Amino acid sequence: MLHKLKDNEFIVWKPRSSIRLTQNGKNLATQVIKNYKKLKDFFICILKLDDKDLIDTLCCGIEHHITPEVRKSIDNLLI
């Protein structure tokens, strides 16, 4: 996975060395965190789920695949 992240220019890394996020990596990480938080709000506020483990599992499974269109739709629901 580290090779894939490096090839996609998300990290700077050499074997047996430290790992640093590139600006692209930081941007992606920030977006994933935002997606997680929006999904969590959606599951709690809109769907009224209260099982924290289920919510975490759902958010972790979806956060990397959410599209800008879906993100905007969730934002509109949460307003």
Q: Is the pLDDT of residue 56 over 90?
A: yes
C-alpha to C-alpha distances, 29 to 33, 36, 43, 77, nearest whole angstrom: 6, 11, 21, 24
CA distances from 25 to 17, 32, 39 (A): 17, 11, 21
Mean pLDDT over 34-60 rounds to 96
pLDDT by residue (tens digit) across 13-33?
988 889 999 999 999 999 999
Residue range of the domain that includes 7: 2-78
Residue 64 has pLDDT above 90, yes or no: no
Q: Which amino acid is at 29?
A: A
CATH of the domain at 74: 1.10.10.10
Q: How many domains does the chain have?
A: 1
pTM, to two decimals: 0.82
